[in-house]
Structure 1
Amino acid sequence: MHRKYLLILLSFLILETCYAITLPPLIDFSGSWCWDKNSKYSTFSITINKFLNKYRGGYASVASSGNKIDDNDDAFSFEKPLKNIVKTTIRTGISGDTGVIQLKLVNRNTIEWRILKAPEQEFYAPEIALLHKCKG
C-alpha cells in the first residue's frame, strides 16, 4: 500500500515538472521604464502598474530643454496580454487628445514604445523609443 502511494506521488511530481517546463514565460509589463536617449534636452519615461489582470500606465516627456512638458499618470490601460505586444489608446496630458500606441516587451528589462497613430493635438513623446527598467 505504501509503495502504491509513493508511485502516485512520483507520477504526480513528474507530470507537474513537465507542465512547469512547458509553461510560457511570464509576461509582465509592470514597472518604471526609462528611455535610453534621455539627455539634458529631453527625457521620456513610462510607469506601468498591474492590478489583477489589468495594467494602467502613464508617461512623462520633457522636450525642448524643459520648455515642453507632457505627462499623464493615467494615460493608458490594457488587459493582461497573451503575447508580448499590446496596442492601446493613449490620452495626452498636455492636450487630452487620444492616439494609439504599441508596447512590446522585448525582454524582462526592455520595452519598445511605438506610436501607431499620433494624437492630432500637442504631444511630446517620441515616435519610437527603447526603454529599460529604471535603476534606483
Structure 2
Amino acid sequence: MFENILAKLPGPPQFLLCVLPERKNSEIYGPWKKKSLSEFGIATQCISPTKINDQYLTNVLLKINSKLGGTNSLLAIEQSSCIPLIKDTPTMILGMDVSHGSPGRSDIPSIAAVVGSRSWPLISRYRAAV
C-alpha cells in the first residue's frame, strides 16, 4: 500500500486517513501505524466505520488537528502574560502516563508515554514519544 500511495503523489504525504474494516484489534492496525510513522514519518488517523456519530467524529477531528500541529485547548494560565518563574526562566513541562492491558490479559504489553513542552506561552503544545 505504501509504495502505491507514494508512487501516485508528487511527494510523501504529511497525513493519511485510514478506514479500517474493523476496530483497532484489526490485524492491519498495528503494522500500519508502526510502518507509517516509524519508517515513513507519516502521521495517520485510523477510523472504523462501525460506530460513527457526532461524538466519534468530534474526537477523530480533535486527534487529526493535534497531529497536524493544531491547538485543541489552552490552559487558562496560558492566556496570562505572566507565570512566575516560567516566563523568564527556560522551563520544560513534562507529562507522563502508562496504559496497561485489561486485568487478566498478561499478553498485552504496558505502554508508557512521555510528553514535554517548552513552547512558551503555549505550554499545552507538545511533542510525544512512546
TM range (shorter): under 0.3
Kindly indicate whether structure 1 or structure 2 has the higher relative contact order, using CA contacts under 8 Å at least 6 residues apart: 1
Q: Of Structure 1 and Structure 2, which has the larger fraction of its residues in helix?
A: 2
Structure 1 or 2: larger strand share?
Answer: 1
